[in-house]
Structure 1
Amino acid sequence: MFKFFKKKEIIPICFGNTICAMADGEMIDITTVSDQIFAKKIMGDSIAFIFKGPNISICAPCSGKLTVLYPTGHAFGITMNNGVEILIHIGIDTVNARGKGFQILNKKQGDMVKVGEEIVKVNFELLRQKYDMSTILIITNSNGKRINFLPLSIVSKGDKVADLT
């Protein structure tokens, strides 16, 4: 009836040299994840997230070119306009799910994406039965930028989680 009194959802958006949360969840220490390749930051400086819901859309943490999109949906990479390369890996060993529980959302490798755009819908409820669903954000190429992750916290989609200087 009085729709103009309804509270409108506002999703904070990051710009430029910032990286945002891909969904609502909790930032956790990368050294606590069960895969040592990620825990020891072998692929690059990283942070991990725990997402609680049954079905979650994982969004672009930054704007740029979708340079990697695995057909299984378990991982994707974005190259920012400043040359920084980011890889999002959803779950540990989820490549073995062979795409079950992942749905790529109208995106293809080579597309330009904006921060907050949905990339992959994930059935966390199904995948949690077999996999550690820690979601890893890896800076695979900092392009000379210094990565400043914010303190570990509860985050909402679009919240800033890192600055690049």
Structure 2
Amino acid sequence: MSRPQPDDGPRRTDQQREQQWRLSSGADVDEALHAAERLLAAAKDRHRHAQNTTFAIWSGVAGAMLSFAASLYFLPLLLDSRGLATVGAWASLAVTASIVLVLLRELWGQRRRASFDHSLMLAHHIASMINEAVNDVADREGWSYLRLQTIKLRLSAFPLSDSPAEHFRRAR
């Protein structure tokens, strides 16, 4: 008995298969990695800006508290009337409290906005996809060892963990 023979129709070449299946190419990997690097750089810039804003807010809180302490010290010296000094102290407390509350509300809002960075998430997902495909593309296209290791080194800059927000926590 003879076994059924496979169809001897035209065999597809690797290039035809790549075109039909739309497999990733080295150019796709480079383009995606470049886009992910831009997103990561933008996320790092926003994170640095958020850190500077946090420092400025805490400096404002400290300045307001020092101003309040100074007003409590100097009001009785500058005002002769005890009642007027008391009113001045309460006014100073009200102004300081309102300034501190506004600054702390801004700090809370800024922390909430910085807790989820969409572009960092996108960079994380793009880098994860590249990491999954890079070995296949390198084998298929016959990349040199240097090119493959360079791509892997560039990928190491990305947070490939489950939570990309951890990337900034570890970088502190």
| TM superposition score normalised by structure 2 | 0.17
Which one has a larger percent helix, Structure 1 or Structure 2? Answer: 2
| TM superposition score normalised by structure 1 | 0.18
Which one has a larger percent strand, Structure 1 or Structure 2? Answer: 1
